[in-house]
């Protein structure tokens, strides 16, 4: 896990070593264990190292092949590097290191761009090919690791984080108004190749591109996913559950490969609890040295029982015997941390829920260098309750009337309160979007059939943003965060399953619940609520954060923005404070966007990382 940056000059001029140095310094938190720079001709590559696998200098980057015709800067982990290395050795390749970075170099030598299909992991890399005189850039299938780029001053610039690109004086000088308005209205980001900085793009998940002296070619998709549209199939539940559990167990096993200490994020939900229990079994059977004899878990807890999952965390701790560490995020601390979180995230974020994860990563950094997390399971297995709408609607339109009737009954039995609250929020949020000015693009998260929704959620509308938050939150503390549920073998298998093995009778994640029966405590396996690392945002925005938010909304800069009706925003916020209006995250998003605009474009704050 590292940070990468680079410059490729189209006009034949040499790269600017000072620019590369500043770009590298701005992502130093991603790799405090070492740095390297390679410059030749019109190409310059910079690397910041977070040493995870092969801690020796042999794994230093930029990394070359034997004759120096290839130069690689790489951020991520190739979890099947052991198996790929053995295959490449049989093909005649000679390795000088024991890590996964050199596997990419030799895999490219052996298979060219087709090497991407063989990788199981998370990656963003740039590889200079001297013989072909081009830069080959690629990002993993789900966008777990970031890759940003732009063209400016006759150069192609790339980096792991936008802040590194902003080292160039002509880059990111204006916000992308359309992307900012989309975020304000719908809370989405990373759903297209555009960012909230005009002129700054990102490689989409499962995309790669080639950069030559004439410019960068159109990025191309090297992998895609088919989500099964069938309602049911002939695969028995027991057989499918056993296969799912086997794949998840092996995914977890290879995600534990590390030469440094590994821990687990434990929220108390189904996904992280299953990981924790599976890791304990792997410790018992295989004793991986870097996990230790007792697994370390890291959790966020709250005094307010409405948001606290301590009792579920306690159950997992009791049955697994892990070393459990906990942190309690507080409203008093969040405002102090908000500026640094914004700096680390590069773009405004949708709600304060990411603050709990930020605090968990800060806690984990005291004891481990790698954590495993349960991200991705909800989008794969239809874990969010809102997916019920799409499923039932699709059943009706496809004339599965009896199944739709049974699903409605089950959904109302298990989630009646959620649907009532969701309907109320639908009207509240619709009203708050009227506080915004300008043309707002329409974003449809739940339109279409369940298979269509899950595909979008995995590849565009939801998961990429959550992975963005997780990457920046973890790397802020030089922590590598791994997501076993996004092992490509597991993803492709779950995608092949019919809908009724994802949702059945109002029960979400149906097959996962079946697979972990007898492993995870029943009170957790049968949970019907959905929390994860959440915060009491509504309470904080009404009480502890009230003076800060009012200060933002009454500032003259806020009134000068073209994105919202400032007077209407203040009036609406006061109505919420007085109990005349329900809360919704649009309030926070407006405040967050204003702070971001001040930091990045008004230049009213210093770099919070210094």
Of the pLDDT bands very low, low, confident and very high (cuts 50, 70, 90), residue 55 is very high
Fold (CATH) for 2-177+192-221? 3.60.20
CB 190 within 8 Å of CB 202: yes
Considering only the C-alpha atoms of the chain, give the largest distance between any 2 of them, rounded to a whole number of Å: 73
Concatenated DSSP letters for 474-527?
HHTTT-EEE-GGG-HHHHHHHHHS-GGGTEETTEESHHHHHHTBTTB-HHHHT-
Structural domain boundaries in the chain: 2-177+192-221, 237-385+441-525
Mean pLDDT on 25-32: 98
Q: Is the pLDDT of residue 607 over 80?
A: no
Which pLDDT does position 606 carry in this prediction? 47
Strands 323-327 and 507-508: unpaired
**How confident is the model over 106-131, as pLDDT tens digits?**
999 999 999 999 999 999 999 999 99
User: What integer is the mean pLDDT of 370-396?
Assistant: 96
Give 157-180 pLDDT, tens digit per residue.
999 999 999 999 999 999 999 999
pLDDT digits (tens, 9 = 90+) for 294-347: 899 999 999 888 888 999 999 999 999 999 999 999 988 998 899 999 999 999
What span, in angstroms and rounded, lies between the C-alpha atoms of 517 and 497? 19
Mean pLDDT taken over the chain:
95
Q: Mean pLDDT, to the nearest integer, of 65-87? A: 97
Q: Is 436 a residue whose pLDDT tops 90?
A: yes
Q: Is the pLDDT of residue 467 over 60?
A: yes
* One fold for 2-177+192-221 and 237-385+441-525: no
pLDDT the model gives residue 534: 62
What are the pLDDT digits (tens) for 207-261?
Answer: 999 999 988 899 999 999 999 999 998 899 999 999 999 999 999 999 999 999 9
Confidence grade of residue 531 (pLDDT, cut at 50, 70, 90)? low
Say yes or no to pLDDT of 605 above 50. Answer: no
pLDDT of residue 417: 87
Tell me if 430 sits within 8 A of 527, measured CB to CB: no
In this predicted structure, the answer to whether residue 87 has a pLDDT above a threshold of 60 is: yes
The yes/no answer on whether domain 237-385+441-525 falls in CATH 3.40.50.720 is no
pTM (predicted TM-score): 0.96
pLDDT reading at 532 higher than 70: no
Distance, in Å, from the CA atom of 215 to the CA atom of 529, rounded to the nearest integer, reads 50
**What tokens does 83 get?**
């198996």
* Span 476-502, pLDDT tens digits: 999 999 999 999 999 999 999 999 999
Say what percent of the chain tops pLDDT 70.
98
Once rounded to an integer, what is the mean pLDDT over residues 46-58?
95
What is the DSSP code string of 73-131?
A: EEEEEETTHHHHHHHHHHTT---S-SSSHHHHHHHHHHHGGGGGGG--EEEEEEEEETT
Q: Do 32 and 70 form a contact (C-beta atoms < 8 A)?
A: no
């Amino acid at each position: 896990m590292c940070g990468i940056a680079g410059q490729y000059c189209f006009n034949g001029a040499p790269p600017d070593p000072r620019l590369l140095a500043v770009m590298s310094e701005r992502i130093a938190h991603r790799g405090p264990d070492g740095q390297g720079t390679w410059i030749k001709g019109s190409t310059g590559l910079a690397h910041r190292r977070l040493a995870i696998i092969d801690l020796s200098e042999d794994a230093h980057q930029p990394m070359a092949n034997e004759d120096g015709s290839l130069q690689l800067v790489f951020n991520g982990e190739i979890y099947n590097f052991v198996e790929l290395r053995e295959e490449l050795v049989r093909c005649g390749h000679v390795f000088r290191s024991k890590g996964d970075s050199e596997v990419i170099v030799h895999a490219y030598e052996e298979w060219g761009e087709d090497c991407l299909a063989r990788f199981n992991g998370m990656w963003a890399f740039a590889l200079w090919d001297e013989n072909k005189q081009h830069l080959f850039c690629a990002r993993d299938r789900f966008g777990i690791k970031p890759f940003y780029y732009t063209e400016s001053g006759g150069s192609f610039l790339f980096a792991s984080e936008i802040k590194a690109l902003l080292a160039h004086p002509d880059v990111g000088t204006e916000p992308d108004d359309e992307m900012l308005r989309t975020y304000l209205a719908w809370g989405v980001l990373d759903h297209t190749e555009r960012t909230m900085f005009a002129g700054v793009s990102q490689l989409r998940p499962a995309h790669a591109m080639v950069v030559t002296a004439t410019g960068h070619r159109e990025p191309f998709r090297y992998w895609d996913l088919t989500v099964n549209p069938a309602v049911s199939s002939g695969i028995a539940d027991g057989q499918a559950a056993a296969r799912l559990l086997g794949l998840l167990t092996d995914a977890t096993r290879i995600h534990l490969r590390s030469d440094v200490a590994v821990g687990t994020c434990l929220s108390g939900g189904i996904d992280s609890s299953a990981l924790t229990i599976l890791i304990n079994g792997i410790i018992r059977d295989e004793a991986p040295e870097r996990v230790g004899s007792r697994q370390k878990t890291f959790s966020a807890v709250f005094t307010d029982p409405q948001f606290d999952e301590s009792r579920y965390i306690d159950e997992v701790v009791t049955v697994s015997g892990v070393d459990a560490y906990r942190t309690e995020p507080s409203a008093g601390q969040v405002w102090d941390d908000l500026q640094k979180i914004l700096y680390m995230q590069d773009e405004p974020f949708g709600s304060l829920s990411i603050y709990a994860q930020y605090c968990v990563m800060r806690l984990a950094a005291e004891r481990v260098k790698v954590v495993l997390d349960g991200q991705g399971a909800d989008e794969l297995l239809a874990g969010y309750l809102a997916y019920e709408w799409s499923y039932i609607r699709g059943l009706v339109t496809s004339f599965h009337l009896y199944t739709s009737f049974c699903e409605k009954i089950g959904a109302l039995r298990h989630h009646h309160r959620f649907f009532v609250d969701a309907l109320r929020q639908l009207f509240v949020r619709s009203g708050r979007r009227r506080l915004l000015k300008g043309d707002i693009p329409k974003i449809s998260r739940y339109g279409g059939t369940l298979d269509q929704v899950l595909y979008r959620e995995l590849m565009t509308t939801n998961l990429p943003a959550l992975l963005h938050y997780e990457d920046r939150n973890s790397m802020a503390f030089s922590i590598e965060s791994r997501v076993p549920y996004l092992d490509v073998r597991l993803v492709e298998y779950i995608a092949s399953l019919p809908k009724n093995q994802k949702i059945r009778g109002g029960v979400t994640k149906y097959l996962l619940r079946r697979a972990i029966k007898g492993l995870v405590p029943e009170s957790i396996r049968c949970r019907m609520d959905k929390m994860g690392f959440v915060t009491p945002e509504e309470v904080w925005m009404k009480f502890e954060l009230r003076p800060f938010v009012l200060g933002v909304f009454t500032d003259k800069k806020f009134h000068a923005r073209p994105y919202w009706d400032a007077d209407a925003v203040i009036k609406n916020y006061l109505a919420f404070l007085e109990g005349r209006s329900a809360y919704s995250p649009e309030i926070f998003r407006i405040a967050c966007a204003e702070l971001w605009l001040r930091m990045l474009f008004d230049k009213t704050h210093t770099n919070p990382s210094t």
